[in-house]
Amino acid sequence: MKRSILLAAALAAAPFAASAAEGVSYTYVEGGYAKIHYDERDLDNPEGDGGYIRGSVAISPSFNLFGSYAKVSEDYRLLDEYKLDVDLSRAEFGVGYRQEMGERLDFIAELAYQRLELEARLPGFGSGSDDAKGGRLAVGLRGGNARAEGWVKLGYLDGGDFEGDFVGTLGGQFKFNRTWGLVGEVEVVEDVTQYFAGVRASF
């Protein structure tokens, strides 16, 4: 009797064990610290710090919807007398596709709409803003196990206000359990490097 109960419990847990072994979820929310570095010597290589939030939901075994929002800020001194406040925000939403290439490796593709907005304020003189909109197409690989996972993507940013730039992304996650993990990611677009570090909850 005890043997039958143990066998039934093992069979019932098998799907969950397989899911944990694969270790990759396309339904999650995460948030944390964001940093943007602009490699431009004439501007003294400006940087901005802030935060981000992103999420994804699987709508079928092959497709998921995702979105993100990030905002960074920096202050600059002009003539040692005036302070210029600069905010840069990025919003994105799109659809992703996955195709299994192995037990622990997926081919992934993403198509997204992206909007960048720059706002500058000079106290006593007013403020101004500008934005850019376009699309991003990317392909890559994502894989992992119950403890860690990683992803690499190569994409292209074009259309609308963008003139066409390649985008490279490298990221990974260390998992404490099936739900919680620490995430780190680096994204490079021409002279702009973006860093993200946060906490992810997978479902």
Most trustworthy range by pLDDT among 3-7, 52-56, 132-136, 162-166 = 52-56
CA distance 58 to 149: 18
Structural domain harbouring 36? 2-202
| pLDDT tens column, 183-202 | 999 999 988 899 999 999 99
Among 68, 92, 66, which Cα is nearest to 157's?
92
Higher-pLDDT residue of 137 and 2 is 137
> For 38-126, where are the alpha helices, taking DSSP H only?
none
Does the structure show a pLDDT above 60 at 1? Answer: no
**57-81 pLDDT, tens per residue?**
999 999 999 999 999 988 777 666 7
Q: What is the pLDDT of residues 104-125, one digit of tens each?
A: 999 999 999 999 888 888 877 7
Residue appearing with tokens 């339904």: 27
The single residue listed with the structure tokens 């694969």 is 22
Identify the CATH number of the domain in which residue 54 sits: 2.40.160.20
Domain count across the chain: 1
